[in-house]
Amino acid sequence: MLILLPPSETKRPGGSGAPMDAAALALPQLAPERAAVVDALVTLSASPDEAVRVLKLGARQHGEIAVNAALRTAPTTPAVDRYTGVLYDALDAASLDAPARRWLGAHVLIHSAPFGPVAALDAIPAYRLGAAASLPGLPALRRVWAGPVTAALTDAAPAFVLDLRSEAYVGLGPVPAGVAGAYVRVVSPGPDGAVRALNHFNKHAKGALVRRLATDRPRIASASGLLRWAEQAGLQVRPGDAGELQLFA
């Protein structure tokens, strides 16, 4: 099973690792796109006013320009430890034992805007870039990433993909049509019994799900296998619309 996670806008600064080695990242065939986006982001950082506009930075976020300028030389940390926010706080990867972290490294890709999907334990620097950005000199990120990421996922040939990304990041690399997978929607029954999608708790539920998977480390190769594991684990996961699973929070 391969799990696709979204990144988070908020990130831990710094790190103790050497500068990013792009050749060591997961899906190395994405090297040309990674180089193009990093080059454009570093170049943009030389024009602070333009960077503020393109990245939609508030008055207290101007320090993010220097963060992007240092992408090639900045210290790194594992991707799953770089991101903060609701999903990653619920996942709390730093508190997992070594076997669980190795499982994350083998089964989880985090879909970043500048580097594309990276493995959970791939070492990356801090950065500021969202899925909707259009960098000067490049097409919209959707056009940069979508085709190459889908092709890279095809090459990876996972038996089953559990897609926990937000729809914006799905747009940066749809799961190949020929690969079995399921998109997860976090839902809750309302007072009238109707099932409704959640917003804030959506992220918490996804982080908690991945933590439980890393702790249990089940062998899952299909949606039906995930449903069986979830039932045994006491989690409410049900079939939804075609190609989707509903995770109840």
For residue 197 the two structure tokens come to: 């999608």
The SS3 call for residue 187 is strand
User: Cβ distance 90 to 207 under 8 Å?
Assistant: yes
β-strand 108-112 against 116-119: which pairing, if any? antiparallel
Tell me the backbone φ, ψ of residue 197, rounded to 5 degrees: -70, 145
Output the pLDDT for position 190.
73
For residue 86 the two structure tokens come to: 């609701």
pTM: 0.96
Task: Please state, as a whole number, how many other Cβ atoms lie within 10 Å of the Cβ of residue 148.
Answer: 19
Output the tens digit of pLDDT for each of the chain's 249 residues: 999 999 999 999 999 999 999 999 999 999 999 999 999 999 999 999 999 999 999 999 999 999 999 999 999 999 999 999 999 999 999 999 999 999 999 999 999 999 999 999 999 999 999 999 999 999 999 999 999 999 999 999 999 999 999 999 999 999 999 999 999 999 988 777 677 776 668 999 999 999 999 999 999 999 999 999 999 999 999 999 999 999 998
Output the pLDDT for position 67.
98
Output the pLDDT for position 198.
66
Calculate the alpha carbon distances from 171 to 106, 143, 175 in Å.
23, 9, 10
The domain limits of the chain are 2-248
Q: Write the burial class of residue 52 (CB in 10 Å: 0-12 exposed, 13-18 middle, 19+ buried).
A: middle
Output the pLDDT for position 196.
75
Query: What sections of 56-137 are H helices per DSSP?
Result: 63-69, 79-82, 86-91, 98-107
What is the DSSP code string of 50-76? HHHHHHT--GGGTHHHHHHHTTTTS-B
Task: Please state, as a whole number, how many other Cβ atoms lie within 10 Å of the Cβ of residue 174.
Answer: 15
Output the pLDDT for position 184.
97
